[in-house]
Amino acid sequence: MAQSICRSCLRGLPRALSVPRSTVNRVRNFSGISNPHLPGVQTSSNDRRQPVQQIRRSMFIQTQDTPNPNSLKFLPGQDVLGGTSTLDCPSIDAAAHSTLAKMLFKIEGVKGVFLGPDFLTVTRTTEDLEWSLIKPHVFATVMDFFASGLPVVSDGALSNAASTADYGENAEIVQMILELLDTRIRPTVQEDGGDIEFVDFKDGVVQLRMQGSCSNCPSSTATLQHGIQNMLQFYVPEVLSVEEVTTEVDEISQQEYEKVEKKLEEMRQKNQDDAK
């Protein structure tokens, strides 16, 4: 069976083109009009050019599918972190410095939150939980947060760019790797609601951490091998291979995810037994 590859890989390779699928959701808040899922909020996809209106402010929210079926990208039509900054929150503990992320974790079914320059990605606990149940709450949370005027993250919460000072004779190689990641790879990966963090370079092996929609994505292995690794090796011959690494937070998040999956499977089995 052919191995699937993330759209980001295709866009990053020379002469490759890929148009991401996207869905547009317009969030409106009219006085006296309610939505069955969320009071005061109505979603529509009929008139794609009609301006969005709210009582307190105007906001245009788009949702875009990602290669990861459990992650959905939200574009509020304004800066989230701005610049090139990102913040990955695979668990609520990692969201300690972001009020917005903590608010999103209060929504039932939210497993992870990733904040990008002008977007945010929400990852659900399981495919059995329909996005139609989660999206209205995400819309409301995002609107309420930006209407509050609070900062997205606290001061000093965003990590600084990786330094090449500790790599000695490999400093120039690492600098080239970082430049390729920042200019050729990360922008295309972010289009799919994720990101890639440089961790280390040793003995020709580049270690990267997948974030956002790229984390636990079915296409992540192909993304590393057929997209990122090929590009880095093309421009930097010293790169022998690329591998994904995870942090303790990632492992804990995955363990919690597996617990939820096991519990849901037990519930499904029980329902089937009761139906017999």
- Region 11-24 average pLDDT: 40
**Closest by CA position to 107, among listed 195, 38, 164:** 38
- Interatomic CA distance for residues 137 and 140, integer angstroms: 5
Identify the pLDDT of residue 147: 93
Residue 201 pairs in a beta bridge with 206
| % of the chain surpassing 90 pLDDT | 54
pLDDT exceeds 90 at position 42: no
pLDDT exceeds 90 at position 266: no
Identify the pLDDT of residue 84: 87
Mean pLDDT of the chain: 78
- Cβ atoms within 10 Å, residue 246: 15
| % of the chain surpassing 70 pLDDT | 70
Identify the pLDDT of residue 273: 72
pLDDT exceeds 80 at position 157: no
Decide which of 206 and 225 is more confident.
206
In this prediction the pTM is 0.72
Q: E strands of 79-231, at which residues?
A: 87-89, 110-115, 120-124, 194-202, 205-212
Q: Tokens for 177, please give them.
A: 């790797």
- Region 233-241 average pLDDT: 95
* CA 263 remoteness from chain centre: 25
> Which burial class, exposed, middle or buried, applies to 183 when counting CB atoms under 10 A from its CB (0-12, 13-18, 19+)?
exposed
